């Protein structure tokens, strides 16, 4: 009986083992069919519970669905808004053109300016007599108001400079920009830079500046005569704290471009010296900062003068534009 009992217990153990093995095999087959790891119930009750039930939020997707979800579509970076139209009265048109001198309308022709328009980089605005366009410069928060008749190029380059060929600019102060931050305006008579200042700049046959608050600096180095302007600084800027008026410069556009190129070359040479000098560059760095500021003013002046002219020799003017573009890159070299 003892042998029989052992045989019966061995048989029972074998049957139990075979039963467990069969259960595991069945579970394994079920797992293969459902794709659910561990033999547990699938979180997807039916094929109708598709990826659309969990739109592009991977964190909310049940584990079994994650691998079947389509990858979210990469979105391009949002465009940087430099300037936006905040006010508009009367007739004003805009055309986004390249840096051509005779800057007319683009292929689509001139388009009316509307409030809340985001202005393209370097957009030209033509203002009829009595019209007004107000814009806000995003990088500084300042508001600029242009009054016609006039032509102005706004949001030029990364610094959002202004080219006022003719017309009136009413500049408002703003307290939110970094300390020392300046805006720059080019005119056919010279360049203007200013910090948080409230003033009016008018460009017609001559140029006039009238301040309410603050100070502006005016640059026309080629024609400057220090003896007649005791407030002229070594860089060639005239400090204006009340009013100022000057006639059109006698310098030609090619002369202004040559001046821009020469001053930009000086700034680039100083930058190279700084890069190759070991220590003791304090005075050199200060000179470099001043030279960059002077070159920037000269090139801004030259660019606006070119935009104000309509030469008969377009090929010559295109050559000047190429020189101007190269010079602009020189003085910006860190």
DSSP-assigned letters across all residues of 304-332:
HHHHH---S-HHHHHHHHHHHHHHHHHHT
- Please state, in angstroms and rounded to a whole number, the distance separating the CA atoms of residues 160 and 153: 10
Q: Could you tell me which of 298, 296, 291, 300 has the C-alpha nearest to residue 272?
A: 291
- DSSP letter, residue 178: P
- Please state, in angstroms and rounded to a whole number, the distance separating the CA atoms of residues 94 and 89: 14
Average pLDDT along the chain, 334 residues, taken 10 residues at a time? 45 46 46 44 41 34 37 49 90 67 53 90 93 88 92 90 96 64 92 90 94 89 56 83 87 92 95 88 91 95 88 72 93 87
Q: Could you tell me which of 45, 37, 39 has the C-alpha nearest to residue 63?
A: 37
In the numeric block, which tokens belong to residue 236? 């060639």
Q: Give the CA angle between residues 212, 118, 195 to the nearest 5°.
A: 25
pLDDT at 13: 47
pLDDT at 322: 92
pLDDT at 7: 45
Helices (H), the chain: 2-34, 63-66, 253-276, 282-308, 314-331
Using an 8 Å Cβ cutoff, are 253 and 305 in contact?
yes
Using an 8 Å Cβ cutoff, are 123 and 153 in contact?
yes
pTM: 0.70
Strand partners, 134: 87, 145
pLDDT at 18: 42
pLDDT at 305: 92
The number of beta carbons lying within 10 Å of the beta carbon of residue 242 is 8
> How many DSSP H helices and E strands does the chain contain?
5, 14
pLDDT at 58: 36
Element (H, E) at 218: strand 216-219
Using an 8 Å Cβ cutoff, are 187 and 171 in contact?
no
């Amino acid at each position: 009986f003892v042998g029989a009992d052992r045989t019966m217990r061995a048989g029972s153990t074998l049957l139990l083992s075979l039963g467990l093995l069969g259960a595991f095999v069945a579970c394994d087959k079920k797992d293969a069919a459902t794709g659910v790891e561990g033999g547990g119930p699938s979180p997807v009750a039916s094929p109708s519970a598709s990826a659309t039930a969990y739109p592009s939020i991977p964190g909310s997707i049940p584990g079994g669905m994650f691998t079947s979800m389509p990858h979210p579509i990469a979105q391009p970076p949002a465009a940087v808004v430099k300037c936006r139209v905040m006010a508009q009265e009367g007739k004003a048109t805009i055309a986004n053109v390249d840096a051509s001198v005779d800057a007319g309308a683009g292929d689509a022709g001139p388009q009316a300016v509307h409030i809340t328009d985001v202005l393209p980089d370097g957009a030209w605005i033509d203002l009829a007599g009595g019209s007004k366009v107000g814009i806000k410069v995003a990088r500084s928060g300042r508001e600029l108001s242009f009054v016609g008749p006039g032509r102005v190029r706004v949001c030029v380059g990364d610094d959002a400079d202004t080219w006022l060929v003719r017309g009136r600019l009413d500049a408002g102060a703003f307290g939110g920009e970094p300390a020392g931050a300046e805006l720059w305006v080019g005119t056919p008579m010279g360049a203007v830079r200013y910090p948080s200042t409230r003033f009016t700049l008018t460009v017609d046959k001559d140029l006039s500046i009238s301040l309410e608050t603050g100070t502006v600096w005016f640059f026309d180095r080629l024609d400057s005569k220090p003896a007649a302007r005791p407030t002229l600084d070594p860089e060639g800027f005239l400090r204006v704290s009340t009013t100022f008026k000057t006639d059109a410069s006698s310098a030609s556009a090619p002369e202004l471009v040559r001046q821009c190129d020469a001053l930009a070359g000086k700034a680039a040479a100083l930058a190279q010296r700084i890069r190759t000098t070991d220590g003791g560059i304090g005075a050199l760095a200060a000179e470099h900062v001043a030279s960059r500021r002077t070159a920037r003013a000269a090139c801004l002046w030259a660019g606006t003068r070119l935009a104000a002219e309509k030469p008969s020799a377009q090929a010559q003017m295109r050559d000047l534009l190429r020189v101007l573009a190269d010079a602009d890159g020189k003085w910006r070299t860190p």
